[in-house]
């Protein structure tokens, strides 16, 4: 499973990129607003740090304006994935950009039917939102399972990018189902390191090593 971080905080991105475990970045208008930075220069800065896909979302909702914005975004770097909403106009833009060799991330997916349309439109990524479905008492992970089954049936190239990830459970369960990518806040990725037995075991090793009076260096 590829790991993307869902943030526009350049310091968070640099910290995770330094681990060598970060495969890409996703952003959205809300994250850009939170950063307080200019959109296009910020995406360029992120692309300079991360060599994998960097999702940059159009702000418009109509076809003509989305298409113009997409032209600006895809010129920032070759590894920019233009992010479009899962609407008729968004999928039209997706099809045209995909046919022209540009990566497209179709976002705000909440049903298997929508995911099927995105794959047929040639999306590089489909972003189903598990956490937001959980918020309305629906099971977001069921959506991931359904999309995995449909995509396997027809051998679509579109990668399932699990979004709106709220906990390590979302990541692990999605990985078990065969989802290709997950994107989450940096805080959730860092939770994956943690286990109480790792902490207690390491503490015991450190204490026992001190008793030897030795030094490796």
The question of whether 83 is a catalytic residue gets the answer yes
Which of 14, 75, 83, 190 is catalytic? The answer is: 83
Count Cβ atoms below 10 Å from residue 35 Cβ, excluding itself. 15
Of residues 54, 60, 68, the one with CA closest to residue 10:
54
Transcribe the chain into DSSP letters: -EEEEE---HHHHHHHHTTT---EEE--HHHHHHHTS-HHHHHHHHHHH--S-EEEE----SHHHHHHHHHHHHTT-TTEEEEEESSHHHHHHHHHHHHTT--EEEEEE-SHHHHHHHHHTT-SEEEEBHHHHHHTT--HHHHHHHHHHHHHHHT---EEEEBS--SHHHHHHHHHHT-SEEEE-HHHHHHTT--HHHHHHHHHHHHHHHHHT----
Q: Decide the pairing of beta strands 54-57 and 159-162.
A: unpaired
Task: Give me the active site residues, please.
Answer: 83
């Amino acid at each position: 499973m590829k790991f993307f971080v869902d943030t526009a905080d350049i310091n968070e991105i640099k910290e995770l990129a330094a681990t060598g475990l970060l495969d890409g970045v996703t952003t959205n208008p809300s994250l850009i607003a939170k950063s307080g930075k200019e959109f296009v220069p910020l995406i360029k800065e992120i692309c300079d740090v991360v060599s994998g896909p960097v999702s940059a979302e159009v702000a418009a909702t109509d076809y003509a304006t989305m298409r113009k914005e997409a032209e600006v975004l895809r010129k920032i770097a070759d590894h920019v994935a233009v992010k479009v909403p899962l609407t008729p106009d968004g999928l039209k833009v997706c099809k045209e950009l995909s046919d022209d060799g540009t990566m497209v991330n179709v976002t705000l997916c909440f049903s298997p039917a929508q995911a099927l349309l995105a794959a047929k439109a040639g999306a590089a990524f489909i972003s189903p939102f598990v956490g937001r479905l959980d918020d309305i008492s629906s099971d977001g992970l069921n959506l991931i399972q359904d999309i995995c089954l449909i995509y396997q049936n027809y051998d679509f190239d579109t990668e399932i990018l699990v979004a709106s990830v709220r906990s390590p459970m979302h990541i692990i369960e999605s990985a078990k189902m065969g989802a290709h990518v997950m994107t989450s806040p940096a805080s959730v990725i860092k939770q994956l390191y943690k286990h109480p037995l790792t902490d207690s075991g390491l503490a015991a090793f450190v204490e026992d090593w001190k008793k030897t009076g030795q030094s490796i260096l």
